[in-house]
């Protein structure tokens, strides 16, 4: 198990409860002798904190562990910044569902954190997706996502016509509101609401979920995680669609553009408490029946 001495803290802005949890976490870690580095944005609203400050991007270079206080959206942003540094990330849930941020900010938070710092944790490797948009064969924009890359109409309500290629092989021509290309991590997010399957995080696979397709026979497709996926936006489209990465970065596209999506070489090192159970998380977050058969 790794030794964590330099610990970064990232907090979601706009929440009084997040700031309270960050203060409590900072105080505990300092009292226990750890070196704490605060993300600059959360540090700005905590005057008199007395801690070292760093950008989110730099935290990956100077920290042994980064703790994210917020919801899954906060962790998504941290994942994209920290994955290339192989920095372990631990989440304290101050959001809603909390599939990724799984330590509760209750009275036992310090005990749960200390157990992780003592080496009692589970480590998972989660892969990210790289997206590239090309126009006339020239790259115009790139993005990355832990959950999903989504082609959608943007502010328009029109359908999008596009062609799907997997590993260079033509799959089909599609008319739909768009396409969700999701990692296993993202299968419990937007892809799930679109009718996609729940995928265990350890799977090396990508799921493609069409959004309100024009044909009833169009269904989600699960492909190998190393597949190259290409969406070619039809030249005749009147809509100028958008590609969104984790719902946080948005790339405007035009008819004729090609969107290529593939697995990112760097993975997120996600830390869970020792008792973490993916199926228990699904039961709790998705309201599945909790009792077993008698």
Task: In whole angstroms, give the CA distance from residue 118 to residue 114.
Answer: 6
Residues 6+ apart with CB under 8 A from 228: 166, 167, 168, 260, 261, 262
Task: In whole angstroms, give the CA distance from residue 247 to residue 244.
Answer: 5
Kindly tell me the sign of the dihedral angle through the C-alpha atoms of 140, 176, 264, 192.
Answer: positive
Task: In whole angstroms, give the CA distance from residue 30 to residue 49.
Answer: 11
- The answer to whether 40 is annotated as binding is no
- The answer to whether 147 is annotated as binding is yes
- The answer to whether 189 is annotated as binding is yes
Per the DSSP assignment, residues forming a β-bridge with 222 are: 207
- The answer to whether 95 is annotated as binding is no
- The answer to whether 55 is annotated as binding is no
- The answer to whether 174 is annotated as binding is no
Q: What is the DSSP letter of 105?
A: -
- The answer to whether 192 is annotated as binding is yes
Task: In whole angstroms, give the CA distance from residue 82 to residue 98.
Answer: 19
- The answer to whether 145 is annotated as binding is no
Answer whether 182's CB lies under 8 Å from 196's CB. Answer: yes
Maximum Cα–Cα distance across the chain: 63
Per the DSSP assignment, residues forming a β-bridge with 252 are: 242
| Token pair listed for 280 | 């228990």
- The answer to whether 106 is annotated as binding is no
- The answer to whether 175 is annotated as binding is yes
Task: In whole angstroms, give the CA distance from residue 186 to residue 38.
Answer: 28
- The answer to whether 139 is annotated as binding is no
> Which residues are known catalytic residues?
72
Q: How many C-beta atoms lie closer than 10 Å to residue 22's C-beta?
A: 28
- The answer to whether 24 is annotated as binding is no
Q: Using DSSP bridges, classify how beta strands 88-93 and 258-273 pair: parallel, antiparallel or unpaired.
A: parallel
Task: In whole angstroms, give the CA distance from residue 40 to residue 100.
Answer: 23
Annotated binding site for NAD(+): 72-73, 147-148, 158, 175, 177, 188-193, 248
Annotated binding site: 72-73, 147-148, 158, 175, 177, 188-193, 248
């Amino acid at each position: 198990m790794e030794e964590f001495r330099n610990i970064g803290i990232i907090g979601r802005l706009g929440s009084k409860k997040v700031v309270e949890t960050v203060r409590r976490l900072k105080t505990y870690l300092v009292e226990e002798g750890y070196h704490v580095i605060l993300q600059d944005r959360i540090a700005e609203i905590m005057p008199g904190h007395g801690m070292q400050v760093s950008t989110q991007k730099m935290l990956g270079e100077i920290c042994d562990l980064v703790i994210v206080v917020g919801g899954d959206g906060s962790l998504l942003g941290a994942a994209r910044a920290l994955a290339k540094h192989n920095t372990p990330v631990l989440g304290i849930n101050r959001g809603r569902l909390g599939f990724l941020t799984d330590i509760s900010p209750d009275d036992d938070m310090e005990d749960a954190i200390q157990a992780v710092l003592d080496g009692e944790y589970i480590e998972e490797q989660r892969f990210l997706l790289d997206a590239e948009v090309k126009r006339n064969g020239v790259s115009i924009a790139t993005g990355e996502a832990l959950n999903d890359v989504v082609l959608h109409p943007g502010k328009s309500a029109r359908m999008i016509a596009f062609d799907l290629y997997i590993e260079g092989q033509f799959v089909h021509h599609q008319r739909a509101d768009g396409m969700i290309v999701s990692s296993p991590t993202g299968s419990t997010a937007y892809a799930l609401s679109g009718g996609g399957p729940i995928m265990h995080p350890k799977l090396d696979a990508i799921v493609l979920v069409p959004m309100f397709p024009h044909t009833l026979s169009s269904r989600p497709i699960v492909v190998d995680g190393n597949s190259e996926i290409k969406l070619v936006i039809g030249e005749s489209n009147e809509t100028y669609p958008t590609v969104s990465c984790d719902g946080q970065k948005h790339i405007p596209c035009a008819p004729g553009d090609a969107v290529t999506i593939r697995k990112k070489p760097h993975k997120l090192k996600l830390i869970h408490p020792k008792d973490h159970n993916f199926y228990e998380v699904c039961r709790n977050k998705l309201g599945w029946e909790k009792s077993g058969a008698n």
